[in-house]
Structure 1
Amino acid sequence: MSQKAVAFDWPSPPASLSPDHRTEFIANRGNGRVGSRLVSETERVRVWTLKLEPGERIGFHTHVLDYFWTAVTGGRARSQYADGRVAEMCYEPGDTQHHTYGAGEFMIHDLHNIGDTELVFTTVEFVQSANAPLDVR
């Protein structure tokens, strides 16, 4: 799969965001840290762990690589998206979702643990996707 340097057309923050979240959204467009900790990286994959205690939130980040996530624990979360959408989800251990992005496509969102248990996810990004990986350092 060919990876060409793409100049992404980052969106403006949704009007529905609080002033603090709008500032964070702008600062984090292009932030490729999609988890709490990068646990493994090769020329083929990046493997992340995401752990959120009740009430904890991972700020806005950007997905450009094909990836999947799997819920290690169950719980509830809310995400705000670049298009203004807000989604609340209930997760069960083993829930898995796959995402694919074409050249120049991306998703920006946050994740807030709104439940009363720790949420843990494993995310695997495929480095050899249509877009070059974002910097995570």
Structure 2
Amino acid sequence: MARDMATPDLTGPHWNDALRRELAAARTNGRVGSRIVSETDRVRIWLLDLAPGDRLPFHTHVNDYFWTATSDGRARSRYADGRVVEVDYTAGDTRHHSYGAGESMTHDLENTGDTILSFVTVEFLGGPNPSLL
């Protein structure tokens, strides 16, 4: 039976009521890292350090950005569309993301490995979407 793609499937072993409530409130959460270490009118630089078992709550990206892993590790992300993705990271892995007017992406990040997982994230400010911070 085909599933309505407009209605995400937020069931299964990686979802619970608390996560669904947190996701519902995350559209205005722009905290995409643990702490801001630098900010200008053009960029915002975040550090993110997650101990094993720690989780960055659901948050929404509206600005173009890139992240770079600064440690090896493993993590799980749950996305607003219902996807659950497991990823192994190697220090130096980098991904770039871009968003047009009205576009965004909401997800969480959970360290499922046995080492501290660290990233640097750089957001580019002044794009087509208002910043959430």
Map 1:49-68; keep pairs closer than 5 Å: 49-68=47-66
Deviation at 1:35, TM superposition (A): 0.2
Aligned-partner SS, 1:29: helix
Indicate the SS of the match to 1:15. Answer: coil
Structure 1 window deviating more from structure 2 (78-87 vs 17-26): it is 17-26
CA displacement 1:68-115 (0-9 Å, x = unmatched): 000000100000000000100000000000000000000000000000
Q: Tell me, in whole angstroms, the C-alpha distance in 1 between the residues paired with 2:7 and 2:21.
A: 10
Amino acid at match of 2:78: Q
TM-score scaled by length of structure 2: 0.89
Counterpart of 2:10 in structure 1 is 15
Q: Deviations over 1:34-82 (max 9, x none)?
A: 0000111100000000100001001100000000000000100000000
What TM-score, normalized by structure 1, do the two folds share? 0.87
Distance 2:73 2:10 in 1: 28
Q: 1:119 aligns with which of 106, 117, 120?
A: 117
Runs of 5+ consecutive residues of structure 1 not aligned to the other structure: 1-10
What is the Cα deviation at residue 12 of structure 1?
7.5
Contact 1:13–1:26 (Cα < 8 Å) also in 2: no
Q: What code does the residue aligned with 1:71 have?
A: A
Give SS of 1:60's match: strand
Asked if 2 retains the 8 angstrom alpha-carbon contact of 1:12 and 1:26, the reply is no
Identity across the alignment (%):
60
Quick check: 115-124 or 15-24, which moved more?
15-24
Matches within 5 A, 1:1-137: 14-16=9-11, 17-135=15-133
In the TM superposition, structure 1's runs of 4+ consecutive aligned residues that sit over 4 Å from their partners are 11-14
